[in-house]
Amino acid sequence: MLLKEYRDYFRKELLPIYDEQEVDSFFYLILEKLHRLKRIDLALAAETLLEETKLSEWNAIISELQKQKPIQYLLGETEFYGLPFLVNENVLIPRPETEELVELILSNVFKVMESNPITILDIGTGSGCISIALAKNISASAVHAIDVSEAALATARRNAENNQVKVNFLLKNILETEDLEQQFDIIVSNPPYVRNLEKTEIKPNVLAHEPHLALFVDDEDALIFYRKIAQLAQKNLKPNGWLYFEINQYLGKETAQLLKDLGFQQVTLLKDIYGNDRMLSATYS
């Protein structure tokens, strides 16, 4: 089968499940992964005959996509803040909203941070996307990252190596931690924040395949991670250090009030590209 013919087949098989734009996006991601061809190359490669081995690879991916397995897991990689990241079912797939959190931190670092090097802690690092992006973009930085999952940390370590940055990864349950044992200029976290009552809003491919440990919290205490991390930040932020969170869009005011009640200053609630409350920044002295 010619590549141009297979594209028609690919669309026919997946359009009942996904919208047209998403199917086309899948096709071009797979094209680049399997054939090292970009979208612009397709016109010249349209008459390419798919060999049996490649055809089998394409068909296997279609089969998994029909089960709504995330394309990033099928390809084993994604991009975050312009950097390549390995991903698997032990880590969340990095999202554009989290890129905005990194951008916020970087913009503030270059405005107000004067210490050299800057010490940074990423709590609940997952794939390492936040810590690695910060390490890559702040040359004078000492970056540390914590996660409760050894499998996630194994992926994060590979990502740090692939992106040629140094991050000190630690296996630690933050809810059982009483002291972080050193001071930081920046503490950042994208902790679990989706309440069980919000599961109906989660796409089936996320719900079925991404790690629930990194996604969900009990409805009764949805701010448990924010409270614990803020309490640790009270002890372990340097004077005038900064705390950054990605947050549940429905609990922005509540999370901001939590920080104010704990004595944080300059508590700022920010929206993401979709207009949802998504980030918080605060300082403590």
Check which CATH number belongs to the domain holding 151 and give it: 3.40.50.150
Task: Tell me the torsion sign for CA atoms 189, 206, 275, 127.
Answer: positive
CA distance linking residue 264 with residue 207, whole number of Å: 34
The parent domain of residue 123 ranges over 90-284
Residue 82 within any structural domain of the chain:
no
Mean pLDDT of 37-65: 88
Q: What is the DSSP string of 203-268?
A: -HHHHHHS-GGGTEE-GGGTTHHHHHHHHHHHHHEEEEEEEEEE--GGGHHHHHHHHHHTT-EEEE
Residue 115 binned pLDDT confidence (cut-offs 50, 70, 90): low
Res 66 pLDDT > 70? yes
Residue 51 binned pLDDT confidence (cut-offs 50, 70, 90): confident
CA distance linking residue 62 with residue 179, whole number of Å: 48
Residue 149 within any structural domain of the chain:
yes
Residue 76 within any structural domain of the chain:
no
Residue 47 within any structural domain of the chain:
yes
Instruction: Using a pLDDT cut of 70, give the percent of the chain over it.
Output: 98
Residue 35 shares a structural domain with residue 114: no
pLDDT of residue 211: 85
Residue 23 binned pLDDT confidence (cut-offs 50, 70, 90): very high
Residue 21 shares a structural domain with residue 100: no
* Chain centre to alpha carbon of residue 218: 21
Res 215 pLDDT > 70? yes
Mean pLDDT of 116-141: 94
Q: 81 is written with which tokens?
A: 């803040």
Residue 62 shares a structural domain with residue 194: no
Residue 31 shares a structural domain with residue 149: no
Please name the residues in contact with 249: beta carbons below 8 A apart, sequence gap of 6 or more. Answer: 272, 276, 277, 278
Residue 43 shares a structural domain with residue 179: no
Q: 64 is written with which tokens?
A: 């998994």
Residue 263 within any structural domain of the chain:
yes
CA of 169: how far to CAs of 8, 94, 128, 152, in Å? Answer: 45, 18, 9, 10
pLDDT of residue 154: 98
Residue 133 shares a structural domain with residue 234: yes
Residue 130 shares a structural domain with residue 19: no
Residue 81 within any structural domain of the chain:
no
Residue 152 shares a structural domain with residue 186: yes
pLDDT of residue 72: 95
Please state the domain count of the chain: 2
For tokens 């690092």, what's the residue? 125
Residue 266 shares a structural domain with residue 192: yes
pLDDT of residue 78: 96
Phi (first) and psi of residue 166, to 5 degrees: -105, 120
The closest of 103, 182, 175 to 144, measured between CA atoms, is 182
Which amino acid belongs to residue 46?
A: A
Assign residue 70 a region (left: φ > 0; alpha: ψ between -120 and 50; beta: otherwise). beta
Residue 29 shares a structural domain with residue 162: no
* 146: enclosing H helix or E strand: strand 141-147
Residue 40 shares a structural domain with residue 125: no
* Helix, coil or strand: residue 17: coil
Residue 165 within any structural domain of the chain:
yes
pLDDT of residue 155: 98
Lowest mean pLDDT, pick from 44-48, 120-124, 149-153 = 44-48
Residue 98 within any structural domain of the chain:
yes
Residue 38 shares a structural domain with residue 136: no
